[in-house]
Amino acid sequence: MRILYLLFLGGGFSLMVANGFFGREFFGQRRRADLPPSVRQTPGAYRTFLHNNGFHGGK
């Protein structure tokens, strides 16, 4: 029971510290994506790229 309690405490406080002090979020409809290097290397190209490639958030 003690180990179980320590696991719970560790988990709960880890989530809180990660969110409060490092800005991490663990819930919600979101994801991170890397744009292709060619797009990244061309200023402003991401606008057209995102639009033309149907980058739809969260799906």
Helix/strand/coil for 40:
helix
Contact 40, 50 (CB under 8 A): no
Positions in the binding site for another protein (CB under 8 A): 1, 4-5, 8-9, 11-13, 15-17, 19-25, 27-35, 37, 39-40, 43, 46-47, 50-51, 55-59
Instruction: Using the CB atoms, write b or e for 43-56: b if 16+ within 10 Å.
Output: eeeeeebeeeeeee
The least CB distance from residue 55 to another protein, in Å, is: 6
The least CB distance from residue 42 to another protein, in Å, is: 10
The least CB distance from residue 54 to another protein, in Å, is: 9
